[in-house]
Structure 1
Amino acid sequence: MSELRVVIVDDDFHVARLHTRIVEATGGYTVVATAGSIAEARTAIEAARPELLLADIYLPDGSGLDLVRGYDLDAIVLSAAVTAAAVRTSFQRGAFAYLVKPFADEALAEVLRGYTRYRNLLDAQPELDQETIDRARRVLHGSATRDAAARRSPTEQSVLEALAQSPDALSAPVVAAQLGISRATAQRYLSALAHDGQLLVELRYGSTGRPEHRYRLPR
């Protein structure tokens, strides 16, 4: 999956710049525009066609929730508003996450990592079964991400580190050779990580015509 395009809407230039830094440091995202008003945001969205919107609620010319409702794209609300009505309206209008400002960098980074895994799961196949849909919903809201990190074994962590250090997708035999484990063990861990949306799978066809599965981290 190529980098996801993001538009950030906040009327405080310094806050928008801070959020830009967090988004781009997370990996897999590029901020294509920032906007300080509804009018600027509409222009940016229509020009850049982003996949993801990060929007404040209180803007000088209206509510950022009108942007969340008005465009066919995913959205996170980043706001100082703490009323039940603001939160409820945000979710009603389609936001999948709500962070109260100010928040720690890691809070936004965790939401973005969950969104990356959610996209990986949905984009991996043209048709989805119920298990995949349920898993995508869980990772979108972060619970599966936290649980997986807590359960991660040393071998699983080593597999992820091997892929992180490689510029290319790797096959199970290559990972096995690098880590000194069996091919079956490497394949089991790679398949499980791909199943959870943490890895992307590529098919490479060799001289025999049989596809080889290669795995990489989302970029």
Structure 2
Amino acid sequence: MPEDFRVLIVDDDFHVAKLHAAYVDSVAGFMALAPVGTASLALQSIHSLRPDLVLLDVYLPDASGLDLLQQLDVDTIMLTAASDAVSVRVAFRRGALGYLLKPFTSDALSQQLRSYARYRRLLAQPGALDQEAVERAKRALIPGDVTPSSRPRSATEAAVLESLVPGEQYSAAEVAGRVGVSRATAQRYLSSLADDGAVDIQLRYGTTGRPEHRYGLPATP
């Protein structure tokens, strides 16, 4: 199982940061680190913890999040109440991958994180990228903008997709058993299908241990 993406939340409101951390932990493949409330603490945490992703507010007590963004060499998504056009333009100009306005729902952040996960998986493919792959990665960052790919599917990938029943969720091991392949093979094809938007990934919490990744067909509108 790939390691979870480690997420640092930078927000000076402790209660908001704690809520957002719970949102992050509810998304398959993501784990929230201890939130921090200042730009200086953010720099320290990024240096020591090396998060994969930072969720950054604009309004911090010791610096603007937009100024901090300019100093960061880590993927960053803005979570902020700053709704003016200048802040949005500056954020994107300085490298933000997304901009989510407060207040937002857990589902809105979940969609943003799942889009980021697709983006990362698409750019983790071995070998050089062609322009189509670059464009797919860019589109993957926009929640709701990923449509199932029309590319030809191998027989095994088609079998994995066909094994999923609408409204049901399955583990990779269960899909492997339904298709007659190894768990690793099922996991690989399920990840590829998730990249294309053909499969959704959810979490199921048990009584002990880490939550289990569950795979299913996207809900129809």
In the superposition, the TM-score normalised over structure 1's length comes to 0.72
Deviation at 1:114, TM superposition (A): 0.5
State the partner residue of 1:133.
Answer: 134
Distance of aligned partners of 1:134 and 1:40 in 2 relative to their CA distance in 1, 3 Å threshold: same
Q: Is 2:13 the partner of 1:12? A: yes
Q: Is 2:185 the partner of 1:165? A: no
Give the SS at the match of 1:76: strand
Distance of aligned partners of 1:83 and 1:197 in 2 relative to their CA distance in 1, 3 Å threshold: same
State the partner residue of 1:176.
Answer: 179
> Are the counterparts in 1 of residues 118 and 140 from structure 2 also a CA contact under 8 Å?
yes
- Runs of 5+ consecutive residues of structure 1 not aligned to the other structure: 149-154, 179-185, 200-215
Aligned counterparts of 1:160 and 1:129: Cα–Cα separation in 2: 34
> Are the counterparts in 1 of residues 118 and 194 from structure 2 also a CA contact under 8 Å?
no
Give the SS at the match of 2:78: strand
Aligned counterparts of 2:55 and 2:92: Cα–Cα separation in 1: 14
Matches within 5 A, 1:1-219: 1-145=2-146, 147-148=147-148, 156=161, 158-159=163-164, 165-166=170-171, 168=173, 174-176=177-179, 193=193, 196=196
Give the SS at the match of 1:30: strand
Give the SS at the match of 2:132: helix
Aligned counterparts of 1:144 and 1:38: Cα–Cα separation in 2: 32
Aligned counterparts of 1:121 and 1:198: Cα–Cα separation in 2: 14
Q: Count the aligned residue pairs.
A: 184
Give the SS at the match of 1:40: helix
> Are the counterparts in 2 of residues 78 and 99 from structure 1 also a CA contact under 8 Å?
yes
> Are the counterparts in 1 of residues 163 and 178 from structure 2 also a CA contact under 8 Å?
no
Distance of aligned partners of 1:85 and 1:53 in 2 relative to their CA distance in 1, 3 Å threshold: same
> Are the counterparts in 2 of residues 7 and 54 from structure 1 also a CA contact under 8 Å?
yes
Aligned counterparts of 1:141 and 1:117: Cα–Cα separation in 2: 10
State the partner residue of 2:205.
Answer: none
Give the SS at the match of 2:44: helix
Q: Which amino acid aligns with 2:99?
A: Y
Deviates more, 1:2-11 or 1:126-135: 126-135
* Rg (Cα) greater in structure: 1
Select the structure that is richer in strand.
1
Structure 1's consecutive aligned runs of 4 or more residues displaced over 3 angstroms after TM superposition are: 155-158, 167-171, 174-178, 189-192
> Are the counterparts in 2 of residues 110 and 142 from structure 1 also a CA contact under 8 Å?
yes
Select the structure that is richer in helix.
1
State the partner residue of 2:203.
Answer: none
Give the SS at the match of 2:32: strand
Q: Which amino acid aligns with 1:89?
A: V
State the partner residue of 2:155.
Answer: none
Distance of aligned partners of 1:160 and 1:89 in 2 relative to their CA distance in 1, 3 Å threshold: farther
Q: CA RMSD in A?
A: 3.2
In the superposition, the TM-score normalised over structure 2's length comes to 0.72
> Are the counterparts in 2 of residues 120 and 197 from structure 1 also a CA contact under 8 Å?
no
Aligned counterparts of 1:32 and 1:157: Cα–Cα separation in 2: 37
> Are the counterparts in 2 of residues 114 and 139 from structure 1 also a CA contact under 8 Å?
yes
